[in-house]
Structures are given as structure tokens and as C-alpha cells.
Structure 1
Amino acid sequence: MPFLDSAAPPTTLRTLGAALLAAAVLTACGGSDDEPTPRTLTMEKIGSYNGGKPGAAEITAYDAASKRLFVVNGANGTVDVLDLSTPSSPKLAGTISVAALGAGVNSVAIHDGLVALAIEASPKTSPGTIAFYNAGDLKLVNSVKVGAQPDMLTFTPDGRSVLVANEGEPNSYGLADSIDPEGSVSVITVNRGGTPTVASADFRAFNGQEAALRAQGIRIYGPGASAAQDFEPEYIALSEDGRTAYVTLQENNAVAIVDVATAKVTSIKPLGTKNHNLAGMGLDASDEDGVVNSNTGTPAVKIGPQPVKGMYLPDAIARFTVDGTAYLITANEGDARADWPGFNEETRVRAHCTAGLDPTVFGDAANLILDSNLGRLRITANPNGGSAGKNAAGQCNELYTFGARSFSIWDTNLVRVYDSGDEFEKNTQALPNGRFNASNDNNTLDSRSPAKGPEPEGVVVGRFGNKTYAFIGLERVGGVMVYDVSKPSAASFVTYLNTRSNDSGDLGPEGLALIPADKSPNNKPLLIVGNEVSGTTAILQINLGY
């Protein structure tokens, strides 16, 4: 369980925005002004549960009263219920099957003993289901229908409502059986003891505005898709009062703002792009960069500025406050529409730029396009609504890659305050238990360098005393990065724990859940990590030094 700790220098040139995190109120994530403020924070793995197969551990949620951990088992389409009363040795206490309600579970959330499950239909383009269960006896309480492909869901802080991101992915584009359902955010009034009611925040008001939205930098590019069809809600962060939701539209490189009381999308904010050509904002762009200016190179670690733009395309989002000002944090994973028939936006620089790079834009264009430089980098062929990023001669004059290999902090208007730059790659370049930019299903050096690098996916925040920390999971190389975000414009690296062991151990962190000390079974703050590829649930203890 290697552990990297550093008083890493604060990132320069990382100023620009502020914001973060999701789900429960900050007090539910630990911390108050009455608590002492730690001088140090470290993590250690104290327990684990092996689901027995890939996909057996994805999203997790904890119920303090029953000391049970609910783990989405994507391999079986069920939820494993673990007894976490002894965190060092969690044990299977039960299983929730949803076979009578849908194809499988995508996400789980809990509030005061009530468990909410997001259940996908078969086919996935049909309306999904949100089902409510008692945490203690695992009995079904009731269920309601929502939009297609319900994914992340979260309770409002008062527990009266549940918000659900209905992703609404298509099954294909342009084929005889193609269906592209609309994305939406369902707002469910729980009505404990009664029947839940559902309102839908949809995107139909933006239909007909596609050109104007694209001009703002909001990606709308699915073939033949309206704005409502193209927007695919991914993850939700709530304000402390539960009145406003911030919803990532991952493929669209945007965030929707939802008024919860009226279930209405009030605005959509573009996130822009990251300039990877600035100092401290670079990346390793190739897995064949061991030979200079070559198409037949070998892997090497080469992190540096590159003349490409990174589309943030965030997955998880979280919210926190500092001195009364709210911020959002995004895990800038990146995602391409490449998983279904009829359309694939993902390509590589050399394959896409067959006429070469525009020499008026790219210095040393003839060498930059080689595989040892940018040639292997995965980019989009459809930056926004059909533009290929080429000049009249067919030469590429813009290169847009997926994700930013970082986390960002934004203000609530989605103006960027901070970005972690290239620190994730730099802090993982010399791991003793995994090779640089290895993926979650191999231990191959440089494997992910042409494609999203460490790939940050999950993020949660916790407050201890007057310090606020962000915990960011890296889906590919694995492990959890911790940053002190108490000064949002100057966040600083604290520590990193990676519990993979080359091509075994904990692989593919998917979901993170923070259990504060006052709700923890061992009275210590815990971070629960669902590792999708290895099917393992890791229990990490957060150790605070005073």
C-alpha cells in the first residue's frame, strides 16, 4: 500500500475559478468550527471486501444506524449489503435484487435509513426506476418511474427529496432501430410513509437554440440530436440548503443549474478548455515517446507542455464553502461518444490530420504529428457540432483532447478558480506498485498516456476543523489524491494512497464515499472506495495529526 506524501509546491499558473462538491451537507462530511484543525492528514487501508469478479464494486453508500455499507454490484446488477461494524473486516450481510424492477442498479444513496437505488431498464433507452428500501430489513418500500438510464442520485440535505441524473444515452445513431432518449433530472418528493411524486427538469426549452449554445462553447454534436436529446446528465452536487443543483453534462463539457423547487433547468454553463501548452499544465501525450521524432518509439515518461486543448468533460462534481462563499469541484475525467454504432468521435492526431498540422498554428508541425510527439494522442474529430478543426487545406488547426487529467475548482457561475495542472501525472510517475500511466486492467508503462492519463473520476470533500480537503479517485492508475482546498485559488497537494499491486489489488476506483468520525463505526473518518475493475471495496482510514 505505497504512500506518497509531499508538501508539493502550490501550482503556479493554476488560477482561474472556484467551486466544488456534491451531495450531502458539508457537516455530513465531517468537520465543524468547534473541532480542532489538523496539522497533517494521512490515509491507510484498514479493510477490504472482495466481490469476487470485475464490476462487483462501483458506487457505495453508508447507513450509520445499521452500520451497513451498500455497494452497487455491477457484475450481478444487484446491491451487496456489507456489515461494516468492524471496518477492518467487512462481511456480506445481504443482497438486494432488483430483477423485478429493471436490468440492474447504477447508483445508491441513503438518508436516515432509507436507501434509494437508481435502476436501469432493459432496454436502457426506456424509462428507469428509483426504488426505496429500508436499510435495516432490506424490504422494498415503494418505487417510481423516472427518465431513461438513471445514474447518480442524491438526497437533499433534509432528506425530503431525491435528485436523479437521467443520462439518456442513445443505443445508436442513424440506424433503423436508433433511439436517443432525452436527458433529464428527476426531482422526487420522498413522502416517507406515503407515495413519492416525481417532477422532471428537462432540457426541451433549449431545443431550437443549438447554434447559440454551440457558440457559447457547449458541445451539441450527436448526429440528428436536439439539445434535449444531446444533453446527458452525469452527476449532481447540491447547495447546502438543497435549493440548487449543479449537474455535470459530461459529453457536452458543461454544467446545468437546476432550481429544485420548480424542477427547472435555469441555465447551462460551458466549461471551456484547458490550455495544455502552459507551464504546469502539460501532459504525457504518447506511449511511443522513447525515441525522438519517430513513429516507432518505445514508452517513456515525458510530461510537458503540448499545443492541445483539453475538454474538461467532468464526471463527478462536489460543492463546498469557504468563508461563506460556495465553490464547486470537478473530476475532469473526459468521455468520448464512441461506444455505440453509427457514430464515433474518437480518433488519433495522425489518423485525423492526414494533411498534416497547420504550420501557422503549430511550430515544427512536421515533427509534432509523429507518434513520439502528438501523433498517438486521442482527440475528437467533432469538437462541437461538426467542426473538424481543420483549415481550408485540410490541415488541423485545432486539437481537442478528452479530459484535463486534473481536478478543477470553480465558482458557482462556473468560472474556473484553480486547476491541478499536470500534478496527477507528476505525482504518479514513480510508483513502486504500478507503472506510470498504466491502466486499470494492465500494468503497462505509458498505456494511458495517449488517452486521458490517470483519468480522475470521483471526488468527495470533507471538512476537519477549519480545513477542507478534496479526495479525488484516479480511475486508471488507481488510488486517491488528497488536496487541501481551504484556499480555493491556491489548493495544495497533501497526500496520495494507491492500493493496487501492479496488475492486482484494488483496480479502477469508481465511487468514493466519505464517512465522518461521528458516524463511523470505529469513530475515525473513513473513505470508502469502490474499485470497479477488481471488484473490491476498500476501507481507508483517514488519520489526522494535531
Structure 2
Amino acid sequence: MSRSKILVGLTAMLLATTANAGAAETFNRIASFAVAQNAPDAAVTSSEIIAATDDGMMLIYSDSPAGGIGFVDITDAKAPKPAGFMALDGEPTSVTIVGDKAYVGVNTSESYTMPSGKLVVVDIASQSVEAEYDLGGQPDSVAHNAAGTLIAVAIENERDEDLGDGGLPQMPAGFVVMFDIAAKTVTKVEVTGLAEIGGEDPEPEFVDFNDNDEIVLTMQENNAIVIIDGQTGAVTAHFSAGTVSLDRIDTKADGAYAFTGSATDLPREPDAVQWLDNDRFVIANEGDWNGGSRGFSILNRAGEVLFDSGADLEHYAARVGHYPDKRAGKKGVEPEGLEVGRFGENTYIFVTEERSSLIAVYRDTGAAPEFVQVLPSGISPEGLVAIPQRNLLATANEVDLREEGGVGSHVMVYELAEGVAQYPQLIADLDAEGLPIGWSAISGAVADAEKPGMLYAVSDSFVSAAPAIYAIDATAMPARITGKTLVTRGGETAQKLDLEGIALDGEGGFWLASEGRTDRLIPHALYHVDADGEIKEEVAFPAELLAQEIRFGAEGITSTGRGDDMTLWIAMQREWQDDAPGMVKLVSYKPASGEWGAVHYPLETPADGSWNGLSEIVAHGEFVYIVERDNQIGAKAQHKALYRVSLAEMVAAPLGGELPVVSKELVRDFVPDLKAGNGYVLDKVESFAIDAAGNGFVITDNDGVDDSSGETMFWSIGAL
């Protein structure tokens, strides 16, 4: 079957999932937990590997930067509560739970050449250390068998990526440790000399038990897989993870989302591994060193590849706006973590994509797995745990960006239940070649004048190599990007644009507003394009305006009137040098006469440490609607709202003089809408449009998955 037919099938499955309420069970996020709640004094916290107690009421995650493990009470899964943080002497790398004890791998290495570590046994009820066992090296993954009698630890003794070319060998070699829980004995299992690549320096990465107490081990840099008898410690099989050759992938980090490249003989270099049954297992092909394999594979115990996802994860991430373009040349979405869980009659495979911040969900069929859905996660999901007895799934998302003003690490909880999938809310179709219409960072929108539910949107400078106008069918569920028109200049893709707003020109084309940055040679300007995206006119901001420039410029554009009576109104994001604090300009431009003017719009007073600004402007009926927001995210986000100003007050005065101040009326607080997805509150409500039937549509900007979870929210607020 061709890859394009597979993707068409994925589209059909997704639309069926999201359109037929009650027809199927789907996973939806029901809660998010900021791990900083467990360690409020820590500058940086992270949830990495996560486990659940047998009753599914408590989650425990490893927190490497904070040097301990965190506890989350999910007795009420929709309202997780902080249950404590326990500091450990060293760097926790992984955790697993047997009964009332947590077993934590802790790295205590002095250096790469002097690795050391221990297995710490924690009493969960008292959150105290019960025992410690020397492991003789630096631990990575920890797992237990079904009977709860054995613990396996992958001793990686990781390489120094900054030493030479970061390759192998870098001694000392890694190995596997078996820990007998009853006997409290530590047994070393050698895996040296098994791999074709760097066999003298194995780097064990991830371990998992099947029901026969067999351990499957990945050795990522060695591109190898080993099977060990957990009772005897004997190696019963070992083989290469093999290579993949990919076509129809994006290989250039240029923002163009061109899935026309190829790569040959890429080593899979698997990270996580999970048994599907006693004969088959699934691997997440991160491609950490020489790889870039970008998918996941199912193999049997003989090393035969039964299935490989190829570029499917890449394509789907692109279609939902999550493709990490800056990683295109190397690892793409970077599959890293895995979980397998049996919910009722179905066995699901969950794949974490570190760079796209998605969880891909597949159903095991015994042959090629069936795509089910994608789930939005926090930034860089790594670990996850299925809790089938409660129909729950939990993910650990490791990145903490609070020091940069971003959001911290989160644990997120999902539930399997009847109903529609709540995500994605915006998905792109395939193009004529069967390739995804790649998109991200939606920054401005306008509605078609005649077709209800038909919108047009632009994306910002993150995709500056391929600025485009996207056609969106908002009547579909989820909304669909049905077409993409590149903005061109002289027949070539236009450069030096940061598109932030779009308005109809009344003649089948558009006016586009570009937010300038002089330090990057991007002009503050308006661009008049035809229906094919070709720039027909470029209008620079006037000297009176540019003399007061700061970088926070045009964030939206709308039009009133037609023909010679047309006036364009541009919302400036923040105060420029000649604006009083709390006053921002709504700039007017009349294309027929070239006349410029402005009014002042009063901003709400921002909370300490934040600023408020404008994101969008839309003329409709007797009003102009304006999106005003703060620059905060997560728990700090307070102000995301829609206001309206009477058109009768929009009487511009000349630039350079005193400007009239318009009055505003609150229409809608968007914060409750932003909380409806049960994630953290996103910061950038960037686009608003009112369609021909008078319905309002809102879109958030996902920053091109750059230090962002990649989530895009798209919703309607109904008739205005």
C-alpha cells in the first residue's frame, strides 16, 4: 500500500473518531499537574519517567534536576493534588513500583569515566528510604516483572557527547543488573561483545519484562537489541535493530514544510522498548546519534521487523501543526518513550514524540497496528504509564521553561471514554501529491465575505521561508486546512515577512500586515496580494510612525468600506515611544488616498511582571472587535479577552499629534475557553474572525513548536 493511501486512511479514521459521538471510545485529557507544586523552592523541576501504584491512585515521577521523586495524588483523576517531593542523594533516572515500594535508579557518577549509581528502595506511605543497593555504574531504565519479584536495571554508563565526535567506544562499558526483591541480591549481566556497532562498549538504554520473565533490552548507540532470561541472567538472543530508508520527509530546517526529501539506511537506534506479548515487542526509534529514523517498529524475538511506521509520525505531526521544523534535518519528531496497555479488549501502543510534544496512539491488531489518534502533551513528553483499571493514561513532560518566562514541567492525565476526540481542533488535508499541508504558528485570520465557516489565515515569521495564506473550513470537526497559497514577490517566495494579520480587499485578494523588526531587516509594512498570493503593492509605514518604532508592531488588520471608501485599521501590539503607558494605537490607512491616521485604545492594567497588548482586530457590523491579552502562560495567565469598540468612535486623527481615545466594552473572557482543554492556559490568542453568518472563531498561535507544546486551539464563540 502506498504511503499516500495510508495517510488518507488515517484522515478517514480521525474524522470518524471526531465526528461520531458515542460511536467509539477515545482518549481525552482530563487534567494537568504542574510539578513545581511539589517542589516550589526548586529553580528547575522536571517530570521524566513516571509510574503508578497498583491501585492507580498515586503517580510517582523522577525529577532529575531537582534531585528527587515527586508524588501526585490522582484519587480524583480530574483534580490531581501535590502529594510530596522526596529528595534523594543523586540524580534519579527512572522509577518503577512494586506493591508499596518504589524502586528508583539514582545516578551518583563523578564523571563519565567514573560512573556509579544505586537502586534506592522507597517506602511510598512514609516517603522514606528503606534501603539502597550499589549498582556498580550509572543507571538508566528500571523495570519490574509481572510477579513483582525481579527488578532489571539498564546500566548505561553513558557516553560524553562532547568528547571527540561523541561516538563509541567510551569506556567503561555498560551492562544490566538483576535485583532479586526477596533475596535482596544484585546480579550483573554482561552484554559486551554482542553488538555489531561498538560491541566492546555497550550502552544499555531501556528494559522491559514479558510474562515469561524475559527482558528485552535496547542498546541505543549500538543499534542493538538483546533478550535476557530474567531467572538465569543468560542472554538468549541478540540482534541489530536494523536500518530504515525514508522518503517523503522534511530534511531542511527552513520553515517550508516540504516533505519531498529522503534518507537512506538510517540506524533505528531505539530508545524505549515494550513487549506487546511474549513474542513481539515495539521500539521507539529516536535515532540519538547517527539515526533520524523518526518512527517506531514492531519486531519479534527472532529480530524480524514485522512493522515500521516510516514517515507516518512525521506526516501526522505536520498535519496537526506540531512538526518541529528546526529538527527536520536530524531527528524530526524524535520518538522516545513507549507504553503498552490493555484496555478492555484492546491493546494500545502509546508513542511519545519528544520534539513534537505529541502522544501517538495506535491499536495493536497482531499485524500492522491501527492508528487511533494523537494526544496533546506538555513540552517534551518522555515517560508515560497506562492505568487500565481506571481507564487512565498519564504522561511526564520534562521541559521547564520558567526561567525564560515560559511554562514549567507538567504531568498530564487522560481518560478513555465514549465520546469525540477533543484534539486536534485544526488539521490539514493532504495536497495533490498526497503529502501533508504543513503549517504552524497561525497569527491572523479573516472570514470569507459570503461563505459561512470559510476562513483564511496566515502564519508568522516562524515559517518566513514559506509565508502562506491558509484556507480553513471551520464547518468541519475538527476544522480543516484545505489549501495553502504561498505569498510571492515577482513569482518567487516572498522574504522578510512576519505576517500577523489578514483582511479581505473586496476584490478577491487580501491585505496583509507584517510586524517589522529593524534589527532583522524586516520592514513594518502592509502588502496587497491577489488571490494567488502575489504581492501587487507594498506599503511601508509612514515616517511619522516609524520614528517612534519599537519591535512590537502590527498584530492584526481589518477593513471597513469598499473601493475608494476603504479604510484599513491596523492593531499595534504595544505602546510605541510616543504612546502614554497603557495606550496603544489603532492605525488607519486609506489605500485610495494614501492617508494615515490613528486613535488610541486603552489597555487593561497588566499584572506585575507582565505586559498587555493587542493580537487581532476585526470589523463587523457597527463594531470593531479587538483581542487583548497578556504575555503570560499557564498559572500566571490572567488576561485573554475580546473587546469591542463602536465604529462611530473610530475617527482617526493625524499621526504625530494628540489622538482621540476610544472606549471599549468587554465581549468575552477567553481564559475559561483556554482551560476547557484541561491543559495549561496557552499564552497567544492571536487570531479572531467573524464569518458570513456572524459567528466568531478563535485560534491560538503555537510558536512553531519552538519552546512550546505545539498545541493549537481552534474554537467558535458562536454568534456575535
TM-score, L = length of structure 2: 0.51
Q: CA deviation at 1:66?
A: 8.1
Deviation at 1:482, TM superposition (A): 0.6
How far has the Cα of 1:134 moved from its partner?
1.4
Q: How has the CA–CA distance of structure 1 residues 41 and 426 changed in structure 2, closer, same or farther, with 3 Å as cutoff?
A: farther
Where do 1:93-242 residues align within 5 Å? 93-99=83-89, 103-124=90-111, 125-171=114-160, 180-191=171-182, 196-204=184-192, 206=193, 218-220=196-198, 227-228=199-200, 230-242=201-213
Distance 1:157 1:409 in 2: 21
2:70 to 76, 80, 83: 80
Post-superposition offset of 1:173: 5.1
Letter in 2 for 1:306: S
| Corresponding position of 2:349 | 470
Deviates more, 1:421-430 or 1:460-469: 460-469
Which residue of structure 1 lines up, in the alignment, with residue 498 of structure 2? none
Deviations 1:291-334 (A, max 9, x none): xxxxxxxx21122451422211111101113xxx6211011111
Deviation at 1:150, TM superposition (A): 0.5
Q: What per-residue deviation string (whole Å, max 9, x for no partner) do you get for residues 267-290 of structure 1?
A: 32102110214xxxx3211123xx
Give the 3-state SS of the residue equivalent to 1:483 in structure 2.
Answer: strand
Change (3 A) 1:43 1:466: closer
Structure 1 residues 197 and 235, CA gap change in structure 2 (3 angstroms): same
Structure 2 residue identity aligned to 1:513: V
Provide the secondary structure at the position in 1 that maps to 2:279. Answer: strand
Contact 2:313 2:333 in 1 (8 A): yes
- Residue of structure 1 equivalent to 2:228: 258
Secondary structure class of the residue paired with 2:271: coil
In the TM superposition, residue 403 of structure 1 has moved relative to its aligned partner by 3.1
Correspondence for 1:437: 323
Q: Deviations over 1:357-411 (max 9, x none)?
A: xxxxxxxxxxxxxxxxxxxxxxx4xxxxxxxxxxxxxxxxxxxxx1311111111
Aligned to 2:282: 329
Q: Secondary structure at the match of 1:42?
A: strand
* Residues 8 and 486 of structure 1: CA distance in aligned 2, closer, same or farther (over 3 Å): farther
Please report how far the alpha carbon of residue 157 of structure 1 lies from its aligned counterpart in structure 2 after TM superposition.
0.9
Equivalent position amino acid for 1:538 in 2: M
Any idea what SS the aligned residue of 2:59 has? strand
Describe the shift of the 1:189–1:537 C-alpha distance in structure 2 as closer, same or farther (beyond 3 A). same
- RMSD of aligned Cα (Å): 2.6
Match of 1:422 in 2: 311
Q: CA deviation at 1:42?
A: 1.6
CA distance in 1, matches of 2:138, 2:326: 31
* Structure 1 residues 87 and 465: alpha-carbon distance in aligned structure 2, compared to 1, 3 A threshold: closer
Give the aligned residue type for 2:323: N
User: Structure 1: how far apart are the matches of 2:186 and 2:330?
Assistant: 39
- Quickly say closer, same or farther: Cα 1:408–1:142, change in 2 above 3 A: same
Relative to 1, partners in 2 of residues 1:237 and 1:65: Cα closer, same or farther, differing over 3 Å? closer
2:372 alignment partner in structure 1: 494
Contact 1:318 1:330 in 2 (8 A): yes
Q: Secondary structure at the match of 1:308?
A: strand
2:583 equivalent in structure 1? none
State the AA in 2 paired with 1:459: L
- Following the alignment from structure 2 to structure 1, what is the Cα–Cα distance between the partners of residues 8 and 413? 26
Indicate how the Cα distance of structure 1 residues 326 and 8 shifts in structure 2: closer, same or farther if over 3 A, else same.
Answer: farther
In structure 1, C-alpha distance between the alignment counterparts of 2:56 and 2:311, rounded to whole Å? 42
Greater mean deviation of Cα atoms: 195-204 or 475-484: 195-204
User: Closer, same or farther in 2 for the Cα pair 1:424/1:307, shift >3 Å?
Assistant: closer
Percentage of pairs with the same residue: 28
Q: 1:246 aligns with which of 209, 213, 216?
A: 216
Q: What is the alpha-carbon distance in structure 1 between the residues aligned to residue 353 and residue 211 of structure 2? A: 27
Aligned to 2:237: 267
Quote the Cα distance in structure 1 between the aligned partners of 2:164 and 2:272.
30
Query: Using the alignment, how far apart are the partners of 2:170 and 2:314 within structure 1?
Result: 39
Change in 2 beyond 3 A, CA 1:8/1:70: farther
* Inter-partner Cα distance in structure 2 for 1:540 and 1:201: 37
Letter in 2 for 1:283: I
Q: Contact 1:168–1:183 (CA<8 Å) still a contact in 2?
A: yes
Opposite residue 100 of structure 2, the aligned amino acid is G
For the residues of structure 2 that align with 1:182 and 1:87, how far apart are their CA atoms? 42
Residue 302 (structure 1) aligned to one of 255, 258, 261: 258
Do the aligned partners of 1:301 and 1:436 also contact (CA within 8 Å) in 2? Answer: no
Which residue of 2 is the match for residue 44 of structure 1?
28
**2:68–2:87: 8 Å Cα contact kept in structure 1?**
yes
User: CA 1:45/1:10 → structure 2, altered by over 3 Å: closer, same or farther?
Assistant: closer
Relative to structure 1, the CA distance from residue 170 to residue 271 in structure 2 (aligned partners, 3 Å threshold; closer, same or farther) is closer
Displacement of 1:121: 0.9
Distance 1:276 1:262 in 2: 40
Q: How has the CA–CA distance of structure 1 residues 257 and 540 changed in structure 2, closer, same or farther, with 3 Å as cutoff? A: same
Name the CA distance, whole Å, in 1 between partners of 2:77 and 2:91.
27
Q: Could you tell me how far apart the structure 1 residues matched to 2:163 and 2:54 are?
A: 45
Contact 1:469/1:486, CA 8 A, preserved across alignment: no
Deviation of 1:116 (Å): 0.2
8 Å Cα contact 1:41-1:495 kept in structure 2: no
| Contact persistence 1:66–1:135 (CA under 8 A) | no
2:97 is paired with a residue of what secondary structure? strand
Aligned residues: 385
Tell whether the 8 Å contact from 1:471 to 1:480 is kept in structure 2 after alignment: yes
List per-residue Cα deviations over 1:207-239 (Å, max 9, x = no partner): xx8xxx5xxxx321xxxxxx34x2101011212
- Is 1:403 the counterpart of 2:282? The answer is no
Moved more, 263-272 or 46-55: 46-55
Distance change in 2, residues 1:494/1:451 (3 Å): same
CA contact (8 A) 1:108 1:115 kept: yes
Partner of 1:315: 271
**Deviation for aligned residue 1:82:** 1.5
SS in 1 for 2:226: strand
Secondary structure at the aligned position of 1:426 is classed as helix
More strand by share: 2
C-alpha spacing 1:258/1:436, structure 2 compared with 1 (3 Å)? same
**CA distance in 2 between partners of 1:449 and 1:41 (Å):** 33
Cα pair 2:237 2:302 within 8 Å, conserved: no
- How far the C-alpha of 1:39 sits from its partner, in A, is 6.7
Work out which structure has the larger RCO, using CA pairs closer than 8 Å and 6 or more positions apart in sequence: 1
Q: TM-score, normalised by structure 1?
A: 0.66
Aligned AA (1:263)? G
Aligned-partner SS, 1:255: strand
SS class of match (1:468): strand
Determine which of 386, 389, 393 is the counterpart of 1:514.
386
Contact 1:108 1:117 in 2 (8 A): yes
Distance 1:419 1:116, change over 3 A: same
The residue number in structure 1 matching 2:414 is 540
Contact 2:251 2:261 in 1 (8 A): no
Corresponding residue number in structure 1 for 2:9: 9
1:539, distance to aligned residue in structure 2 (A): 0.9
Distance 1:316 1:544, change over 3 A: farther
Structure-1 separation of matches of 2:245 and 2:170:
36
Separation (CA, whole Å) in 1 of partners of 2:311 and 2:54: 37
> Do 2:144 and 2:208's aligned partners in 1 also have CA atoms closer than 8 Å?
no
Question: Aligned equivalents of 1:66 and 1:486: distance in 2?
Answer: 26
